[in-house]
Amino acid sequence: MNLVLLGAPGAGKGTVAQELVAEFGVAHISTGDLLRAAVKGGTELGIQAKKYMDAGELVPDQLAIDLVKEPLAADDAQQGFILDGFPRNTAQAVTLDSELSAMGREIDCALLVDVAPEVIIDRLSSRRTCRACGYTGTAADATCPKCAGEMYQRDDDNEATVRNRLDVYEKSTSPLVDYYRGQGLLKSVNGDQARETVYGGVKEALGL
Ligand code: ADP
Ligand code: ZN
């Protein structure tokens, strides 16, 4: 399984990825998670990235590309990987194709988790994330239902930044749906359903 997850912010890509990783043991490569770790660690990359992230803009392509190269080449990605949050525009997708082909590998599916923009705004403003394990929940979760860790609201899950992230998605990322459709790799699942139902749809779409 060499999978690219597509979908607007808050569509549920991270949740789908966590479930696939738990069941199939593939590597989860989330550029958002990698960037947040860099910000938290106060690295040079993190300092550079933070201003873009807080504004809901994409970080520069080269930065995102440098970030995924190592995990893609790592041992645990050789049996398969899920890219979550990358590629985010056509330039990143083209670079990904050439990086993979240099390794004798390729994407075998791009899965769109499809959710309407109206639903997204509500979801993201009530979204809470576990500091310890990354579980994605809602404001109703006092502590993490998985590990009892502390739930927090991401800096970029406020309404103004959410609106900009959606604009950026429409403009830069949504063209990738056609990009992968053109390669015959696109599959799609309705993300506006209960968590378990979405995951059922994912497995069906992937033939798992
Ligand atoms: P979401 O999908 O919920 O918007 P992510 O966690 O995937 O959130 O990304 C958070 C932020 O990290 C983005 O708004 C952007 O600033 C940055 N980012 C993540 N992945 C990329 C990427 N591939 N290219 C450029 N910026 C990225
Ligand atoms: Zn947790």
Give per-residue pLDDT as tens, 57-67: 999 999 999 99
On the CB side of 28, how many CA atoms lie within 13 Å of its CA? 18
Residue 108 confidence class, pLDDT cut points 50, 70, 90? very high
Strand partners, 106: none
Of the candidates 44, 42, 88, 46, the one whose C-alpha atom is nearest the C-alpha of residue 65 is: 88
Catalytic-residue membership of 105: no
Of the candidates 28, 7, 2, 171, the one whose C-alpha atom is nearest the C-alpha of residue 99 is: 2
Q: Is the pLDDT of residue 16 over 90?
A: yes
Specify the pLDDT at position 117.
Answer: 86
- Which atom of ligand 1 lies closest to the CA of 30? 7
Ligand 1 site, residue 201, Cβ cutoff 6 A:
no
The rounded mean pLDDT for the chain is 95
Ligand 1 site, residue 169, Cβ cutoff 6 A:
no
Specify the pLDDT at position 195.
Answer: 92
Of the candidates 117, 128, 195, 113, the one whose C-alpha atom is nearest the C-alpha of residue 162 is: 117
pLDDT tens readout for residues 136-172: 999 999 999 999 999 999 999 998 899 999 999 999 9
Residue 186 confidence class, pLDDT cut points 50, 70, 90? very high
- Which atom of ligand 1 lies closest to the CA of 31? 20
Specify the pLDDT at position 47.
Answer: 96
